[in-house]
A = this chain, B = another copy of it.
């Protein structure tokens, strides 16, 4: 699996997730504005990965500031440019807050502030990947507890919450990877995830590279396979989790959660603590990004509807906490949000 995000000699390299699985290529980023564009255009996507890219973008913004007298003003703009790239994933704000604190700390000290900021971005990346590994362990333990008599489980996941979404290993796919290595996984159902096909393109790419048995299904098929008894559990990632446990995640997640509830299939949300937003009381307060209509009206650059067709393109939906069986974080899996607070 190629590196998802790395920084080398003044340049941020992002594996171009718009081109996968057909092409493995990198987009080179040398300015914070281009980092903001890459997030907006989904060169990089997935809440934790967006946070990491924004952290490096923040560093690039600092490095470009020639007049160190106006650094505060300049960095306010850098932060705003990056923050406004996508509204729903809270990790973006979280990472920028970390970087801002670091800048504050470094400014009062001797030494190379830029080098310190770059290290801080590296640390954010490393800590997200470490968090993923722990999420994987806690998730695998949770599955073992949930299915004590069952040898191997079939897991449905929606969108991509893998290495590509997080910088490495993955949240939902982290749980799946660990469960697979521990011999607990039978197979994965990967939802296609229209309109951007992150499931078909990215999750399948990761599962295939890892040798994990899987099948890709259309977004309207999970109910059928749940009714057939083929799915034991659902594990998804999250873009933001509100204080009451409501989960914003890729459009379609809510439908899967409702279906899972009907079939008594546990619905698990795997996310690092950086995805929890205790400033937002409930899912009603989470801004849902509407993306360009063309994403829905075209597939592979070709129109699928008659010209003049209207649509709406909400990129996320909110799953109410009552439908979530447990949250899997790097600190452990908890069945109630209360315990997190």
Binding site for B on A (CB under 8 A): 21, 191-195, 197, 200-201, 204-205, 208, 214-225, 227, 251-252, 254-255, 258-259, 262, 296-297, 299-300, 302, 304-306, 308-312, 314, 317-318
Contact = CB atoms under 8 A, between A and B. Distances in A.
7 contacts: A21-B305, A197-B304, A201-B305, A219-B252, A220-B252, A227-B317, A258-B262
Contacts of A197: 304
A200 B305 contact: yes
A276 to B, nearest CB: 22
Contact of A311 (B201, B215, B252, B312): B215
Contacts of A194: 192, 194, 218-220
Given A204-B305, A258-B259, 14 more contacts: A192-B194, A194-B219, A200-B304, A201-B304, A204-B309, A205-B306, A215-B310, A216-B310, A217-B311, A221-B314, A225-B312, A258-B258, A300-B302, A300-B304
Stoichiometry (number of copies):
2
Contacts of A308: 208
Nearest to A21: B306
Contacts of A312: 215, 217, 221, 225
Contacts of A299: 299-300
A224 to B, nearest CB: 4
Given A204-B305, A304-B197, A296 B224 contact: no
A339 B318 CA distance: 40
Contacts of A305: 21, 200-201, 204, 216
Contacts of A224: 251, 254, 314, 317
Contact of A216 (B191, B311, B318): B311
B259 A221 contact: no
Contacts of A254: 223-224, 227
Nearest to A214: B310
A199 to B, nearest CB: 9
Contacts of A318: 227
A219 B216 contact: no
Contacts of A309: 200, 204, 208, 214-216
A190 to B, nearest CB: 9
Given A197-B304, A218-B296, A305-B21, A255 B208 contact: no
A137 to B, nearest CB: 27
Nearest to A318: B227
A204 B306 contact: yes
A218 B258 contact: no
A314 to B, nearest CB: 5
Contacts of A195: 218
Interface-central residue, A197, A221, A296, A314, by most chain B CB under 10 Å: A221
Contacts of A259: 255, 258
